[in-house]
Amino acid sequence: MSTATMALGNTRIQRSPAQTLQIYLKEAKYEFLKYLRLRMYTISVLTFPIMFYILFGLVLNSKESIAGTRVPVYLIPSYGTFGVIAASLFATAAGLASDRGLGWLEVKRASPMPPFAYFTAKLFTSFVFSTIVVLALFTLGIAFGGVRMSVGQFAKLLATLVAGSLPFSAMGLALGYFTGPNSAPPMINLIYLPMSFCSGLWVPIMYLPKTVQKIALFLPPYHLSQLALGVVGAGTHESAIGHWEALAAFTMICLGVARIGFQRDQEKMYG
């Protein structure tokens, strides 16, 4: 009984591809519904970036510019990144920690559910909520902030931000494996709020102290926000490749940590 037999996606069941697809779809659908109906999640994930955008982007500073870019435009990538991170972390870490710690994941593991379906459902949910946050910001910006971009630009910005959901979902899985059901949400806040601030998601990076700007280079939200800002021509002048590489490396590290947690769980001692 080696851990290899329990590895992800190891299935010797004769399911048709259609049946397998159906499991993945249902798992994803119900995972999404679960969070959509969870007010605590939708409020913290959707409301905060939208509220911040309305307040700081539309009500207070809509006539101002940051580094030559109008504030309502500049803040879409910023708060978009912020929203994507929250959507991804809470959908993965909080859910996983709770499922693991309180026995639900064991019920699923005891069933013939393909283990990978569980994780793709979480990833899917992160993607969908990330998309919703970004589209909401677009809508508000276009309607009330005079934001004008080409369709191509909108599409590229959306794609960049939603792709950014992947590293933070990976981070969420890692966190979910090493926190408990009660400690996960405060732990997420403890990590992602300071990280967001230091990455310039609330106050533009150039207004932050030099030290913080140096720290930001090691923070994944900084790299994602710079990629997004680059789409609207407001990024700093590092290369996009460098940002992608940083995010890819971060994703790999997080997935590695999550895998350690996954394997440790196969021998978990819940009693």
Where on the chain is the footprint of another protein (CB under 8 A)? 1, 5-6, 10-13, 15, 19, 22-23, 26-27, 30, 33-35, 37-38, 98, 101-104, 106-107, 109-113, 181, 266-271
Handedness of CA 11, 16, 126, 247 (dihedral sign): positive
The full DSSP string for 197-240 is: HHTTSSS-GGGS-HHHHHHHTT-HHHHHHHHHHHHTT---SS-H
CB distance 79 to 57 below 8 Å: yes
Question: Closest approach of Cβ 7 to another protein, in Å?
Answer: 11
Question: Closest approach of Cβ 45 to another protein, in Å?
Answer: 15
Helix, strand, coil percentages for the chain (3-state, nearest 5): 75, 0, 25
User: Which of 19/153 has CB closer to another protein?
Assistant: 19
Question: Closest approach of Cβ 204 to another protein, in Å?
Answer: 37
User: Which of 72/261 has CB closer to another protein?
Assistant: 261
Question: Closest approach of Cβ 226 to another protein, in Å?
Answer: 36
User: Which of 28/137 has CB closer to another protein?
Assistant: 28
Say what angle helices 165-177 and 220-231 make with each other, to 10 degrees. Answer: 160
User: Which of 94/198 has CB closer to another protein?
Assistant: 94
Joined tokens for residue 125: 């949910």
65: helix, strand or coil: strand
User: Which of 12/63 has CB closer to another protein?
Assistant: 12
Question: Closest approach of Cβ 180 to another protein, in Å?
Answer: 11
